Amino acid sequence: MTTQEILRDFPPQREQMLLMLHAVQNNNPGNNITASDIRQVADYLNTTTASVYGVVRYYSMFSMNPRGKYIIRFCKSPLCRMVGAFSLLKSLEKELSIKTGETTSDMLFTLEPSECLGHCDKAPVMMVNEKMYFHLDDARIRDILSQIREQELKKQQP
């Protein structure tokens, strides 16, 4: 779908902006909101590009940079940190060969730090796109990544 088509599903009211931006971002292959999207949202809502830009830049779930197909949100809030989230994050960085905040060169994964994801009783946790993963350890993280990689390989084969 084009951004135009997505926007037309919403009434042209400013209070719809966050919902619109979520929808636009989810629709883009790079999981991001482009400068052109921002102009279109501004036109549609009859407001300035600067004010839409201000909203996009404020919220941590929105990104202007293209991101991977899978966004990993890794919790580093107190309870996950207490049970080793930091050392897991280090090995995750190593496994993906990127730093937190970066995207792998094959555009498959983006690794983002996150605050509490509300599953502290199953710490340490992370979210990959819309799915939660609990009780993480190094082996489990490797499993999850290789599962996703395999899945993607299968999709590419005819």
Partner 1 sequence: MIQEKRIALKNAGHIDPGSIDEYIARGGFQAMEKAFAREPKDLIAEMENSGLRGRGGGGFPTGMKVKFTDQAAWPSDYMKYVVCNADEGEPGTYKDRVIMEQDPFIMIEGMIIAAWAIQAEQAYIYIRGEYVESVRRIEHALKQCYDKGYLGKHLLNTEFSLDMELRLGAGSYLCGEELTLLESLEGNRGYPRIKPPFPANEGVFRKPTLINNVETFAHMPWIVMEGAQAYKAMGTEKSPGTKIFTISGDVNKPGYYEVEMGTTLRQLIELAGGMKGGDGFYAAILGGAAGTFVNESVLDTPMGFDTLKEKNAILGSGAVMVMNTSRSLYEMMASILEFFAHESCGKCVPCRVGTKMLVDMWDEVKVPKNGNRSHMLDKMAGEADYMQKTSLCPLGGSPIIPIESARQYFRHAF
Q: What does the binding site for partner 1 look like in residue numbers (CB under 8 A)?
A: 13-19, 21-22, 45, 54-55, 58-62, 73, 76-79, 81-82, 114-123, 127, 130
> In this chain, which of 80, 88, 136, 141 binds ligand FES, going by CB under 6 A?
80
Query: What is the CA angle 45-51-55, rounded to 5?
Result: 100
The number of residues making up the chain comes to: 158
What are the E-state strand segments in 90-152?
109-114, 126-128, 131-133
Is 32 in contact with 63 (CB distance < 8 Å)? yes
Query: Which does residue 55 bind out of partner 1, ligand FES, none, counting CB within 5 to 8 angstroms by kind?
Result: partner 1
* Cβ atoms within 10 Å, residue 105: 9
Name which of 54 and 118 has its Cβ closer to ligand FES.
118
**Among residues 125, 136, 144, 148, which is the contact residue for ligand FES, using CB under 6 A?**
125
Q: Does 107 bind ligand FES (CB under 6 A)?
A: no
Q: Binding of ligand FES at residue 75 (CB under 6 A)?
A: yes
Cα–Cα–Cα angle for 34, 39, 43, rounded to 5 degrees: 145
| Among positions 31, 63, 77, 110, the unique one binding ligand FES when judged by CB under 6 A | 77
